[in-house]
A and B are shown apart, each in its own frame.
Chain A
Amino acid sequence: MSTRTSTVFLVDDHPLVREWLTTLINQLPDLRVCGEAAGADKAFEGMRASAPDIAIVDLALPEGSGLALVKKITSELPQIAVVVLSMHDERYYAERAFRAGARGYVMKGESTSSIAAAIRDVLGGKLYVSPRMQSVFSKRFGEDDLRNLHAPVKKLSDRELEVFRLLGQGYETRRVAESLNVSIKTVQAYCARIKEKLQLANASELLREAIRWNDAQSAG
């Protein structure tokens, strides 16, 4: 076989997880673990030295958060693709991880058999989420591009967009009402319409969506 071996860097504070992940990856013909670390700082140093093709990062790290590490890798070492492997619930964290620049999210202990698939998908230039999250994401953003975040917002009226923008800046209902000089009830009515138009199930989804959109706006 002439396929090039891709290198993988592991970041996880649990030795047991690192050990067996290494074994799992090394027994695959096209993948090889080139380094591992338990904490964010060592991980970043290690990656800069070994220049892996892909990093598998846990979100809960003893020093510094995994999300911050993901952001740092994608901004400073953009040639490294990142897959998040975490105990955290994908329903709440997958979006955040993608926003931080990750290209895959696998829940620890949920779909062990798909770890290899996730690595290969991401190495192949695709994004990876579990089938469950895929349906959630595609319902909201369309199948192809998870980062195509702007389209649904076009359905909003100017006033709704204003409320949406303020929510995304971390304003909560009361402060939105204050800064737009309207009553809390009015803001709640806007929120109800935004949720309906963007097909968001509840206020937490609305908030996350608003924050995500806002981040994307300021990034782009």
Chain B
Amino acid sequence: MSAWTRFLERRSRAALAAGCIVLSLATGFTDYLTGTLISFSAFYLAPVSLAAWFVGTVFGLFIAALCVTVWVLGNLIAGDANFANPFLIAWNGSIQLASFSVVVVVLGQLRILTRDLERRVRERAAALTKEIAERERLQKLLLQASEKEQRRIGQDLHDGLGQHLAGTAIAGQVLRDKLERRSLDEAGDAAKVVQLIEEGVSLTRRSAKGLYPVDMQAEGLMLALDEFALTTTRLFDVNCRFLCESPVLVHSATAAEHLFRIAQEATRNAIQHGAARNIDIELNTLEEGHELRIADDGKGLPSMLPANGGLGLRIMAQRAQTVGADFQVMARPEGGTVVTCRLPVTIEEKMAS
């Protein structure tokens, strides 16, 4: 049915109009041939409906009139008793014309409704597509904004608070030296204060690093992952290794930062949800691009993800998508999870330039 409709929709209006006229005449001729005893009037509905649906209401009415004319003429020639005088001709003809016209008008209205519905469906679909694109764009912006904010706080910590504390430590050292020159015991206390301030600097440095881990230089990702593996091993009592066979330079700072965050999130998942003991973070050069791989020996992915749909996983996937990388999370046959992220070298070069 719909195949026929589509076929007819594609024809030109002139061809369809001609077809309707031919069909009307053919129906009239067949009606004449079959004689007056067999009612044939319903078959005229075919050209009338086609004309009304595919060409238009006005042309539909024209075909209705044509059909009635042909029908009346046929019956007259055949000598039908129903058309014995002009009144009968006018009456029967009008009745037939009226019923055809009703069909034409109803089909016309139906046509308008259908078209309208189709149009609205198309518009809605377009609006939805736009909305989805807009939402993705917003998600990306949100991620970028929060990263920018983190970076800003990180830099403020490093360059503002860190430097202030460093200056304070020097001031403390001045005090210590003065006290020592006067051979006062308090020099020891002052040295202790300097040490405490230095611990503050060290804490500040560490926090800043957590917020803004990847140095802008191309080898920054290697350094950041190396440092991250060391810190993770120390802080969480796990064996976290960074494996990198040969230098991998990521020239796009954005790509580097996203890859780092993916490694960070995957490692956090492995420790918090997977109770992993060993985590290997690998950064490698493959023929087609850079590959970041985080493999752990934990419990693996839960068969049912939590209600928030594994927000961490979604964000990792989103990050990978942002930089045009391929992202995969899989269970390892020997237990545990492996997260793989592949960044095609062509995309990375484009981002960096």
State the CA gap A173–B249 with chains docked (Å). 8
Cβ-neighbour of B170 out of A115, A187, A204 (below 8 A): A115
Q: Which chain B residues lie closer than 8 Å to A207 at the CB level? A: 219, 222, 247, 249
- Which residues from chain B contact A111 at a C-beta distance below 8 Å? 198
Partner pick for B198 among A89, A109, A176, CB 8 A cutoff: A109
Complex CA gap A76/B146 in Å reads 44
The residue on A at minimum CB distance from B215 is A92
- Chain A residue nearest in CB terms to B165: A109
In the assembled complex, the CB of B232 is this many whole angstroms from the nearest CB of chain A, namely 15
Bound: A210/B246 CA distance, A: 12
Give Cα A16 to B197, complex, Å. Answer: 15
Task: Name which of B28-36, B66-74, B113-121, B172-180 contacts chain A.
Answer: B172-180
Counting CB contacts under 8 A, is B171 at the interface?
Answer: yes
A143 within 8 A of B: no
Interface residues of A in 68-123 (CB under 8 A from B): 87, 89, 92, 108-113, 115
Q: Are B246 and A23 in contact (CB under 8 A)?
A: no
Q: Which residue of B lies closest to A208 (CB)?
A: B219
Residues in A whose Cβ lies below 8 Å from that of B201:
87, 108-110
Q: Evaluate whether A19 and B167 lie within 8 angstroms (CB atoms) in the complex, with A167-B247, A187-B246 already known.
A: yes
Is B207 positioned at the interface, with any CB of A under 8 Å from its CB?
A: no
B103 interface residue (CB < 8 Å to A)? no
Q: Please report the C-alpha to C-alpha distance between residue A210 and residue B168 in the assembled complex, in whole angstroms.
A: 38
Q: B253 near A: Cβ within 8 Å?
A: no
Give the residues from 221 to 250 in chain B that come closer than 8 angstroms, CB to CB, to chain A: 222-223, 226, 242, 244-249
Assess the A188–B285 pair: CB atoms within 8 A. yes
- Min CB gap A100→B, angstroms: 15
Contact yes or no, A17 B166, CB < 8 A: yes
Tell whether, in the assembled complex, residue A110 and residue B285 are in contact, meaning their CB atoms are under 8 Å apart: no
- Chain A residues whose C-beta falls within 8 Å of the C-beta of B223 in the assembled complex: 92, 204
A37 cross-chain contacts in B, Cβ below 8 A: none
Find chain B residues with CB under 8 A from A109 CB: 162, 165-166, 169, 197-198, 200-202, 205
Interface SS of A by simple majority? helix
Asked whether, in the complex, the Cβ of B244 is within 8 Å of the Cβ of A112, the reply is no
**Pair A203/B167 contact, Cβ less than 8 Å:** no
A91 to B156 CA separation, bound complex (whole angstroms):
22
Q: For B247, list chain A residues within 8 Å (CB).
A: 167, 172-173, 191, 203-204, 206-207, 210
CB of A184 within 8 Å of the partner chain: yes
Bound-state Cα–Cα, A21 to B163, Å: 12
- Whether the pair A112, B194 counts as a contact (CB closer than 8 A) is yes
Chain B CB within 8 A of A192 CB: yes
Give min CB distance, A74 to chain B, whole Å.
Answer: 22
Q: Which residues of A contact B219 (CB under 8 A)?
A: 204, 207-208
Using known A-B contacts A108-B201, A184-B286, A204-B247, determine if residue A27 contacts B174 with beta carbons closer than 8 Å.
yes
| Residues of chain B contacted by A191 (CB below 8 angstroms) | 245-247
Q: Does A202 contact B (CB under 8 A)?
A: yes
Q: Judge whether B185 is part of the interface by a CB distance below 8 angstroms.
A: no
Considering the chains assembled together, what is the distance between the CA atoms of A198 and B248 in angstroms?
19
Is A42 an interface residue when CB atoms closer than 8 A count as contact? no
Chain A residues, Cβ within 8 Å of B248: 172-173, 203
CB of A31 to closest CB in B, whole Å? 12
Q: Which residue of B lies closest to A12 (CB)?
A: B163
Contact with A along B242-269 (1 / 0, CB 8 A): 1011111100000000000000000000
User: Is A48 located at the chain interface by the 8 A CB criterion?
Assistant: no
**A 3-26 binary contact with B (CB < 8 Å = 1; else 0):** 000000000001011011101100
The 8 closest A-B pairs by CB, nearest first: A109-B201, A16-B167, A191-B246, A203-B244, A109-B166, A108-B166, A20-B170, A173-B285
Q: List 30 A-B contacts (CB under 8 A).
A: A17-B166, A17-B170, A20-B168, A20-B170, A20-B174, A87-B158, A87-B159, A87-B201, A89-B205, A108-B162, A108-B201, A109-B169, A110-B201, A111-B198, A112-B170, A113-B173, A115-B173, A167-B247, A172-B247, A172-B285, A184-B287, A188-B284, A191-B245, A191-B246, A203-B244, A203-B248, A204-B222, A207-B222, A207-B247, A210-B247
Q: Apart from A167-B247, A188-B284, list 11 A-B contacts with CB within 8 A.
A: A109-B197, A109-B198, A113-B173, A172-B218, A184-B285, A203-B244, A203-B247, A204-B222, A204-B223, A206-B247, A210-B247
